[in-house]
Amino acid sequence: MVLIKNGKEEIVYLLTKVIEKFQHETGSEVVQNTNRKNYEGIAVFLSDISNKLPENHTNWETEEYTARKGDDQLDYPYRKFDITGGQIKDALNGIVNNPRPYLIDACYVYLYGVGRKGFEKNPVDPFLVEGQGEAAPAAALAPGSKDQDLESQIKKLESGNQQKKQKIMMLAGLVLLLIAASCFLYVQKNKSEKELAVLKQDMSLLPYQPSQAEIDSLEGIWLCYTGSPQARISYSDRFHKVVSNLIEITYKNGYFIYNRYGASFDHTGYMQFESPGIVSIYSRIKNKTGAIESPRHSLMNIYSGTHYIPAISASWNFDIGDKNKIVGIREVYQKIGKGGQVHEILNQVENASCQCKIINWEKPDNTLQVFHLKNHPLETVMPAEIQALIDEKSILLNQPDSTVILSQPKNKDK
């Protein structure tokens, strides 16, 4: 029996093949980033296979699995052999050295029709076999006769002359191609400039050039307080839950780059002044593919007269799957400084300890401020004047539903 690769190398390859096949067969795109909910569809699909392993381990030639009593009465993700989107995300990103055996067998069954044990008997994919795929050394060539050596030298000379002719022809062709390309680029440049001018006018891009005072007032590091967790129906403990986001705003050629760090996922986008003091914000979930995911639009007046600036946003509740709904929401912005470097802390003991996202802000004076981003009770937000701006009254659903926004905790005695 051949030796099959294992551990991190094996599962990364298997999951990559599974995602390719799943996308091809279903037409559904799997956005591969650090957001575990992107992998929920394929996790549910693989779970349908893994939960059948106890009854099919002989036919599928897998490890022997023992079913848990009562699992047939449960739904995903509460069964013994269910696979979660987080498990797939971690394994695919190479941070799992010993993946779960039923995840491995489910991948083999989906890709090759048999489990890992069955695959070892007939390894149809050489990449999974240890030591295969390496190039064999070339055989030595035997020396020829003198006539053959002379004939070989003549052929080399003729080949060299032919190659020189080809190089001259290629050089002449390249010169003509460069001339044609230069003309084409000149025409396209003029055309693009005209199209850009029309686009900026039609879509109101950069309609107002901010003053230096307005640039200074907006550029920098901000906190944004939002009550969006209160609208997530899958979050049973959502009553009066809010979250703080850290935002880095950088000026660039008439507009502003907008990078927002959230507790679960990040946003990227831009801001622009529509008129004196009036700022519009466009952002979307940040991912590796650049695909537009959960786009949001906001308006705020930087001359609100208070230290805490409210913004009205057309946003999302950022729930799971088809529970992700459009909402209207009031958010509160607070500028806390300017300059320095912002970066996320990953894979540290402190991440597991606080169950949150950790962001470090290294200030220009070389001091460090640490932010722990996670959902927390509204009543912990200080000062208290912010609480009334982001409570349950700050959210407007796109369809009225009295069961979504809670006015009291679910377990509160009546």
- Read off the pLDDT of residues 236-265 as tens digits, 9 standing for 90 and up: 999 999 999 999 999 999 999 999 999 999
Stated length of the chain: 414
Residues with Cβ within 8 Å of residue 144, at least 6 apart in sequence: 152
Q: What is the pLDDT of residues 328-386, one digit of tens each?
A: 999 999 999 999 999 999 888 888 888 899 999 999 999 999 999 999 999 999 999 99
- Is a pLDDT exceeding 50 seen at residue 137? no
Strand pairing partners for 283?
Answer: 269, 296
With both helix axes pointing from N to C terminus, report the angle between 85-92 and 7-26 in degrees, rounded to the nearest 10: 120
pLDDT at 306: 85
Task: Find the mean pLDDT for residues 375-398.
Answer: 95
- Is a pLDDT exceeding 50 seen at residue 397? yes
Task: Find the mean pLDDT for residues 159-171.
Answer: 82
List of long-range contacts for 208-217, beta carbons under 8 Å, 24+ apart:
208/272, 208/273, 208/274, 208/275, 208/276, 209/254, 209/273, 210/254, 210/273, 214/273, 214/276, 214/277, 214/302, 215/251, 217/302, 217/335
Could you give the 3-state DSSP secondary structure of residue 113?
A: coil
Could you tell me which residue, 73 or 381, shows the higher pLDDT?
Answer: 381
pLDDT at 149: 55
List phi, psi (to 5°) of 287: -140, 170
Longest CA–CA span in the chain (Å) reads 107
pLDDT at 189: 84
- Taking the complete model, does pTM exceed 0.85, yes or no? no
What does the alpha-carbon distance between residue 89 and residue 78 come to, in Å, rounded to a whole number? 19
Domain 212-397 falls under CATH 1.20.950: no
Cβ-contact 272, 205 below 8 angstroms: yes
pLDDT at 191: 82
Distance of alpha carbon 105 from its chain centroid, rounded? 27
Could you tell me which residue, 314 or 152, shows the higher pLDDT?
Answer: 314
pLDDT at 102: 95
What does the alpha-carbon distance between residue 171 and residue 156 come to, in Å, rounded to a whole number? 22
Cβ-contact 283, 331 below 8 angstroms: no
Q: Which of 119-128, 312-321, 349-358, 377-386 has the lowest mean pLDDT?
A: 349-358
Q: Measuring CA to CA, how many Å separate 363 from each of 259, 341, 350?
A: 17, 7, 21
Cβ-contact 236, 242 below 8 angstroms: no
Could you give the 3-state DSSP secondary structure of residue 366?
A: coil
Task: Find the mean pLDDT for residues 194-207.
Answer: 89
Q: Exposed e or buried b for every residue in 161-190, given b needs 16+ CB within 10 A?
A: eeeeeeeeeeeeeeeeeeeeeeeeeeeeee
Judged on CB neighbours under 10 Å (0-12, 13-18, 19+), 108 is buried
CA contacts within 13 A on the Cβ side of 36: 11
- Residue spans of the domains in the chain: they are 7-128, 212-397
